[in-house]
Amino acid sequence: MAELPSKVRLTLPPIYLRIRGPSVYEDENQRTWLHLFLETGGVLQVRLRQEDIPSGHIQLTTTPPTSSTMPSWWTLQFGRRYLDSMHQIWRIVHQGNENGVEEIILELTEDS
């Protein structure tokens, strides 16, 4: 049987992500994800990287995220799409594992 490349990730994406602090989201399994905005050709994308951050190092927030365009939560729906707190739909354009770090890239859909 052939081995899969190390980049392949066979797990499902997080079902729910909620803001925990500046640039930090937490999923339903209490794993933390850092986000980075990308804009390519006028298309808004968000890169989420699963990084373990001790809870004592996260400044908890109940105020709006640092960016007014950053949703306070995402929930997985529609298969490979997320609905965010601003009722926008994001599709997963990439999900993988680079050097042991899980990564998801979401792209804002035109119909949002």
In-domain check, residue 4: no
62 pLDDT band (50/70/90 cuts)?
very low
In-domain check, residue 87: yes
In-domain check, residue 95: yes
- CA separation for the pair 87, 56 (Å, rounded): 31
Q: Report the 10 Å Cβ neighbour count for 42.
A: 5
Can you give the pLDDT at residue 79?
A: 78
- CA separation for the pair 61, 34 (Å, rounded): 15
- State the total domains in the chain: 1
pTM for this prediction: 0.77
- Find the mean pLDDT for residues 77-99: 91
Q: What angle do CA 43, 16, 50 make, to 5 degrees?
A: 70
Range of 49's domain? 16-108
In-domain check, residue 3: no
In-domain check, residue 10: no
- Find the mean pLDDT for residues 51-58: 67
61 pLDDT band (50/70/90 cuts)?
very low
Bigger pLDDT: 105 vs 70: 105
Please report, for the domain that includes residue 23, its CATH number.
Answer: 2.40.15.10
